[in-house]
Structure 1
Amino acid sequence: MMGPETHLGFGSPPREKMESLVLSDVASDYRSAMSSSLSAVVDGCDPLLSLPSPLSTSAAASSSSSFVDPPSYADVVFSPLDSQNGAAPDRPSLRRDSSSPRSDRAAASEYAKITVSDPQKEQDAVNSLVPGGGTYVTYLITSRTRAGGAEFRVRRRFRDVVTLADRLAEAYRGYFIQPRPDKNVVESQVMQKHEFVEQRRSAIEKYLWRLSVHPVIGKSEELRAFLQAQGKLPLPTSTDVASRMLDGAVRLPKQLFGEGPAGYVTPQDAVQPAKGGRDLLRIFKELKQSVANDWGVAKPPVVEEDKEFLERKEKMQDLEQQLSMASQQAEVLVKAQQDIGETMGQLGLAFIKLTKFETEEAIYNSQRVRATDAKCLATAAVKASRLYRELNAQTVKHLDTLHEYLGLMLAVQGAFSDRASALLTVQTLMSDLTSLHTRIDKLEAASSKIFGGDRSRMRKVEELKETIRVTEDAKCCALREYERIKENNRSELERLDRERHDDFLSMLKGFVINQAGYAEKIANVWAAVAEETSAYARQ
Structure 2
Amino acid sequence: MMGSESYLGFEPSPATREEMETLALGDGEDDPFHSSMSSLSAVPATADPLLSPPDMAPSSSFLDPPAYADVAFSSPNGSGSSSGSPPLSRNPSALLNHRLPIEYAKIMVSNPQKEHEHAAGNSLVPGSGTFVTYLITSRSLDAGSGSGEISVRRRFRDVVTLADRLAESYRGFFIPPRPDKSVVESQVMHKQEFVEQRRSALEKYLWRLACHPVIGRSDELRVFLRVQGKMPLPASTDVASRMLDGAVRLPKQLFGEPGGGYVAPQEVVQPAKGGRDLLRIFKELKQSVTNDWGGVKPPVVEEDKEFLERKEKVQDLEQQLTTASQQAESLVKAQQDIGETLGELGLALIKLTKFENEEAMYNTQRIRAADIKQVATAAVKASRLYRELNAQSVKHLDTLHEYLGLMLAVHSAFSDRSSALLTVQTLMSDLSSLHIKAEKHEAASSRIFGGDRSRNRKAEELKEMIRATEDAKNCASREYERIKENNRSELERVDKERRADFLAMLKGFVVNQVEYAEKISNVWSKVADETSRYVRDNI
Which TM-score band (shorter chain)? Answer: 0.7 to 0.9
Whole-angstrom distance in 2 between the partners of 1:56 and 1:383: 10
* Residues paired across the two proteins, number: 471
Partner of 2:157: 159
Partner of 2:103: 110
Q: Please tell me whether residue 302 in structure 1 is matched to residue 300 in structure 2.
A: yes
Partner of 2:118: 125
Aligned-residue offset at 1:82: 11
Note the alpha carbon deviations across 1:135-193, whole angstroms, 9 max, x for none. Answer: 22111111111122321111111111111111100000000011111111111222122
Partner of 1:134: 129
Whole-angstrom distance in 2 between the partners of 1:264 and 1:508: 55
Q: Please tell me whether residue 277 in structure 1 is matched to residue 275 in structure 2.
A: yes
Whole-angstrom distance in 1 between the partners of 2:436 and 2:416: 30
Whole-angstrom distance in 2 between the partners of 1:499 and 1:327: 19
Aligned-residue offset at 1:264: 1.4
SS at match of 2:107: strand
Query: Who wins on radius of gyration, i.e. which is larger?
Result: 2
Go from structure 1 to structure 2 and tell me whether the alpha carbon gap of 1:70 and 1:409 turns closer, same or farther (over 3 Å shift).
closer
Whole-angstrom distance in 2 between the partners of 1:335 and 1:372: 33
**Contact 1:290–1:424 (8 Å) recurs in 2:** yes
Whole-angstrom distance in 1 between the partners of 2:340 and 2:88: 25
Whole-angstrom distance in 1 between the partners of 2:363 and 2:190: 60
SS at match of 1:263: coil
Aligned-residue offset at 1:260: 3.0
Partner of 1:6: none
Whole-angstrom distance in 1 between the partners of 2:336 and 2:392: 12
Q: Please tell me whether residue 524 in structure 1 is matched to residue 487 in structure 2.
A: no
- Aligned Cα root-mean-square deviation (Å): 2.6
One of 391, 400, 421 as aligned partner of 1:402: 400
Partner of 1:362: 360
SS at match of 2:535: helix
Give the letter for the 2:63 counterpart.
L
Aligned-residue offset at 1:84: 6.4
SS at match of 1:177: coil
Whole-angstrom distance in 2 between the partners of 1:358 and 1:325: 49
Partner of 1:435: 433
Whole-angstrom distance in 1 between the partners of 2:88 and 2:516: 19
Gaps of 5+ in 2: 1-22, 33-59, 67-73
**Contact 2:75–2:511 (8 Å) recurs in 1:** no
Whole-angstrom distance in 2 between the partners of 1:234 and 1:497: 36
Partner of 1:21: none
Partner of 1:92: 93
Go from structure 1 to structure 2 and tell me whether the alpha carbon gap of 1:55 and 1:341 turns closer, same or farther (over 3 Å shift).
closer
SS at match of 1:138: strand
Aligned pairs for 1:177-192 (under 5 A) are 177-192=175-190
Note the alpha carbon deviations across 1:220-244, whole angstroms, 9 max, x for none. Answer: 0000011001011111111222221
Partner of 2:63: 55
Aligned pairs for 1:355-504 (under 5 A) are 355-504=353-502
Note the alpha carbon deviations across 1:62-89, whole angstroms, 9 max, x for none. Answer: xxxxxxx97636999xxxx99867x7xx
Give the letter for the 2:382 counterpart.
A
SS at match of 2:119: coil
Whole-angstrom distance in 2 between the partners of 1:484 and 1:267: 15
Whole-angstrom distance in 2 between the partners of 1:438 and 1:521: 81
Partner of 2:309: 311
Give the letter for the 1:120 counterpart.
Q
One of 67, 71, 77 as aligned partner of 1:72: 77
Aligned pairs for 1:156-305 (under 5 A) are 156-305=154-303
Whole-angstrom distance in 1 between the partners of 2:234 and 2:141: 28
Aligned-residue offset at 1:134: 2.1
Aligned-residue offset at 1:258: 3.3
Whole-angstrom distance in 2 between the partners of 1:281 and 1:55: 71
Aligned-residue offset at 1:56: 9.6
SS at match of 1:55: coil
Go from structure 1 to structure 2 and tell me whether the alpha carbon gap of 1:161 and 1:191 turns closer, same or farther (over 3 Å shift).
same
Aligned-residue offset at 1:346: 1.2
Go from structure 1 to structure 2 and tell me whether the alpha carbon gap of 1:284 and 1:56 turns closer, same or farther (over 3 Å shift).
closer
**Contact 1:73–1:520 (8 Å) recurs in 2:** no
Go from structure 1 to structure 2 and tell me whether the alpha carbon gap of 1:187 and 1:56 turns closer, same or farther (over 3 Å shift).
closer
User: 4+ runs of 1 displaced by more than 3 Å?
Assistant: 42-46, 52-57, 73-76, 81-85
Whole-angstrom distance in 2 between the partners of 1:502 and 1:83: 14
Aligned-residue offset at 1:53: 5.7
Go from structure 1 to structure 2 and tell me whether the alpha carbon gap of 1:352 and 1:361 turns closer, same or farther (over 3 Å shift).
same
Whole-angstrom distance in 1 between the partners of 2:327 and 2:87: 23
SS at match of 2:254: helix
